[in-house]
Amino acid sequence: MLAKVLAIRMVRLIATLFVVSLLTFLLVEQLPGDPILAILPPEALDDLENIERIRKELKLDDSVFTRYARWVGDALQGDLGKSYITDQPVAEAIKDRIPVTIELALLATMIAALFAIPIGALAAYREGGYFDRITSALTTAALSIPGFLAGIFFIWLFTLKFNWLPSTGWNRLSEKGLLANLQTAILPASALALAPLAINARLIRADMIGTLKEDYILSARAKGLRDRYILMRHALRPSSLTAITVFALQLGGLIGGTVVIETVFALPGLGTRLISGIYQRDVMMIQGITLFIATVYVVVNTAVDLLYLALDPRIRRQ
């Protein structure tokens, strides 16, 4: 049974990746006119010899199918072509930029978890109480504030008003150490964490309310165990499954969500590279980074599905 479920998931994963790659490929392929016009910067279009050379290099005269197959084949081997604007290989740009993006996504998840779990648990513990009502209003507000606006507000508050933290720039973990790195990472990660924090606090609250109504909680109460003990040991543990899943599910989304936050804080991440690629109309770069982010997103989500399957025996049995 499990093998069958696994097989179905794998087939779906491959089918999805196929369509994702096809869409990304067609994105550029479907551009009106000669693809060379899109790939090369306008100033390079006068040099006819150069155009011929690149046309040969890209084998643009082959059929669409051949070129798609070759493009996917190359991509599987880690070759996403190169930018014809900066001459940088796309894969190299991704490798260079991805640590910042991953760190931001992980740090944001940690911040969100750190606040969402206790907020959700406490709100559920006294459902309808003051704490519950106040946090419920705050999470609604947090969910409605766009990430970039939160980022700008943080810059205004912590940099311009209090001058506690730098507003832009990035200290690499490997070069400057943890503390200097966190100084530049904490504001963008917090802005990024706002939405998942609010969503997760709500989900954990809803889940805990259900758990707290179970009979075994009543029997723990009857045994005279302290409330805090019951909350931490009896209720939080079964609800943690929900928590793990939602956090993992959002990780994939966060990798896309860092795009705008990186831009607000001018961080050297994958998102800013994508945006600068868009401003320069660097089609190869846009195509490569889009394929990469979409692939990560799809793979992470499938992995989370499987993780959920592995963790919850009830689902496994179905």
Contact set with another protein (CB under 8 A): 12, 15-16, 19-20, 23-24, 27-28, 31, 38, 140-141, 143-149, 152-153, 155-156, 160, 252-253, 255-257, 259-260, 263-264, 274-275, 277-279, 281, 283, 286-287, 290, 293-294, 297-298, 301
DSSP state of 45: G
Min dist. Cβ of residue 310 to another protein (A): 21
Q: Terminal CA-to-CA distance of the chain, rounded, Å?
A: 9
Closest to another protein by CB, 66 or 144: 144
Asked whether the CA dihedral 199, 105, 148, 294 is positive or negative, the reply is: negative
C-alpha to C-alpha distance for 83 and 278, rounded to whole angstroms: 12
Give Cα 62 to chain centroid, integer Å: 36
Cα dihedral: 145, 148, 152, 153 (round 10):
10
Closest to another protein by CB, 51 or 274: 274
Closest to another protein by CB, 157 or 178: 157
Min dist. Cβ of residue 149 to another protein (A): 5
Min dist. Cβ of residue 30 to another protein (A): 9
* CA-atom Rg of the chain in angstroms: 24
Min dist. Cβ of residue 216 to another protein (A): 27
Helix segments in the chain, DSSP class H: 2-29, 35-39, 48-57, 64-76, 90-125, 130-144, 147-154, 173-176, 178-212, 215-222, 227-229, 236-264, 270-279, 283-311, 313-317
Closest to another protein by CB, 155 or 220: 155
Closest to another protein by CB, 160 or 179: 160
Residue pair 12/298 in contact (Cβ under 8 Å)? The answer is no
User: 180 exposed, middle or buried (CB, 10 Å; 0-12, 13-18, 19+)?
Assistant: middle
Min dist. Cβ of residue 40 to another protein (A): 15
Sequence-distant (6+) residues with CB within 8 A of 74 are 80, 81
Min dist. Cβ of residue 34 to another protein (A): 15
Strand pairing partners for 89? 82
C-alpha to C-alpha distance for 11 and 20, rounded to whole angstroms: 14
Min dist. Cβ of residue 179 to another protein (A): 26
Min dist. Cβ of residue 141 to another protein (A): 6
Closest to another protein by CB, 84 or 234: 84
C-alpha to C-alpha distance for 280 and 88, rounded to whole angstroms: 14
Closest to another protein by CB, 39 or 189: 39
Closest to another protein by CB, 99 or 253: 253
